[in-house]
Amino acid sequence: MFYSDQHHLFTNHVRRRKNRISKQCSDLNLLLNPTKTQEMMFSSQLVKPVTPALNLNSTDITLCDKMRYLDITVDNKLRFQEQVQSVLTIALIPKLQDCMIS
């Protein structure tokens, strides 16, 4: 559970980190594409915490419930159900094909 003062501290921390990353990228002449940037809040709460929108280069960053990172599907509750289902499907396809050929 977040209390309002904790939420405020957390939000300010996220904004400072985002600003630091933006500055470092700018210093290195790297451009971040805000349309390919996603934000995900990890929480086991049933109701999502209300957070102000983050933006990058005046473009809002998409808040998502799941994302793929290094070919792994990560969800905001860290349950990995979709990832496990995907791996099982990939692992079972050759077995099913073998059974159909036999």
Amino acid, res. 47: V
Domain boundaries along the sequence of the chain: 1-64, 65-102
**What are the pLDDT digits (tens) for 21-41?**
878 888 898 888 888 888 887
Residue 94, C-beta contacts closer than 8 angstroms, at least 6 positions apart: none
Rounded Cα distance, 78 and 42, in Å: 7
The label of the residue with tokens 């960053």 reads 61
For residue 1, pLDDT over 80 is answered with no
**What are the pLDDT digits (tens) for 52-64?**
677 777 888 888 8
Q: Please name which of 68, 69, 54 lies closest in space to residue 21, comparing C-alpha atoms.
A: 54
